[in-house]
């Protein structure tokens, strides 16, 4: 068994799995403390590395794409203080860190663990029920329903509708973005048949985040929901990622096939292109077809 104990946390490897336990130091983030001990099966790993620095080094785990709902929901946006797959190593423990890396790499090689993506979650995600308050609201999740409640800082237009309950069966996606620079972050849920580009400040399906201490905890809600949604790889097999909605055929010659109808069609195509439904190439081809009719 290989083990390394630091203020930042303790990593232990028994040949089958890694146990990542957050430290009790005051500098350990709230998110890592709330996540608690993570058990990462060897089969979920794509690699491990150790980077030395003058004063401290860093151990990093790289998980296979799609293995962890937390990484999926946050899109790799967790920074070092909150990323559970990084460990700060003091300079006098560099030898232990290198030994730890060698042990894990040897196990990956012996078990012939592929580094490619997986089609099922290999980590369970945060347990439920859970509730987090940050930014302009509170997000709670009991495993079946998401409850969004607003506070006195919520924009009036969003708060006017009151608290919101979303059934998990109606959710097609979830994302967490941290605040960065002058840009606010958010926790947003994509509801079936109701896509929106509304800013989180006004979106009743999103909590706006302003970069405060508790913001990363919203990633727990995102990960818990993501873990209970169909895995993206399986969903893509049923509905390919690049499959796009079929565009209505150009109007056939009729009384309605007039100049105004074609202008409306151009406006519709422009909106589909602007919102990202159509690629530049698809937009150009469809536009050309309409212009020929004109």
Q: Which residues contact 206 (CB under 8 A, 6 or more apart)?
A: 186, 187, 188, 189, 198, 200
Task: Give long-range contacts, CB 8 A cutoff, 24+ apart: 264-268.
Answer: 265/290, 266/290, 266/291
Q: Which residues of the chain have pLDDT under 50?
A: 241-243, 245-257
Query: Under DSSP, is residue 77 helix (H, G, I), strand (E, B) or coil?
Result: coil
pTM of the model: 0.78
Contact 255, 66 (CB under 8 A): no
Alpha-carbon gap, residue 40 to 37, rounded angstroms: 10
**What does R_g of the chain's alpha carbons equal in angstroms?**
24
Which tens digits make up the pLDDT trace of 266-276? 776 676 666 66
Report the pLDDT value the prediction gives residue 279, as an integer from 0 to 100: 65
Q: Where are the alpha helices (DSSP H) in the chain?
A: 30-35, 69-74, 94-110, 156-159, 218-227, 232-238, 259-274, 280-293
What angle in degrees, to the nearest 10, is found between the helix axes of 280-293 and 259-274?
180
Report the pLDDT value the prediction gives residue 258, as an integer from 0 to 100: 58
Tell how far CA 30 is from the center of its chain.
Answer: 18
The number of beta carbons lying within 10 Å of the beta carbon of residue 232 is 16
């Amino acid at each position: 068994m290989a083990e390394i104990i630091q203020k930042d946390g303790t990593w232990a490897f028994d040949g089958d799995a890694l146990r990542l336990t957050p430290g009790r130091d005051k500098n350990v983030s709230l998110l890592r403390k709330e996540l608690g001990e993570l058990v990462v099966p060897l089969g979920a790993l794509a690699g491990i590395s150790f980077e030395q620095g003058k004063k401290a080094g860093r151990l990093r785990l790289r998980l296979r794409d799609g293995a962890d709902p937390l990484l999926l929901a946050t899109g790799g946006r967790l920074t070092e203080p909150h990323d559970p797959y990084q460990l700060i190593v003091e300079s006098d423990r560099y030898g232990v860190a290198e030994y730890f890396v060698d042990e894990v790499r040897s196990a990956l090689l012996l078990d012939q663990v592929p580094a490619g993506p997986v089609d099922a979650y290999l980590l369970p995600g945060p347990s439920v029920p859970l509730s987090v308050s940050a930014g302009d609201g509170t997000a709670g999740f009991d495993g079946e329903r998401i409850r969004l409640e607003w506070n006195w800082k919520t924009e009036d237009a969003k708060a006017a509708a009151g608290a919101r309950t979303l059934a998990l069966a109606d959710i097609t996606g979830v994302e967490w973005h941290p605040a960065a620079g002058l840009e606010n972050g958010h926790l947003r849920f994509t509801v079936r048949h109701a896509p929106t580009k509304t800013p989180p400040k006004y979106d009743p399906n999103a909590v706006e985040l302003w970069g405060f201490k508790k913001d990363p905890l919203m990633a727990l809600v995102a990960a818990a929901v993501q873990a209970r949604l169909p895995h993206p790889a399986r969903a893509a097999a049923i509905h390919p990622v690049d499959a796009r909605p079929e565009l209505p055929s150009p109007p056939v010659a009729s009384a309605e096939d007039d100049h105004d109808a074609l202008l409306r069609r151009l406006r519709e195509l422009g909106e589909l292109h602007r919102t990202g439904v159509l690629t530049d190439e698809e937009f150009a081809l469809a536009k050309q077809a309409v212009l020929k009719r004109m």
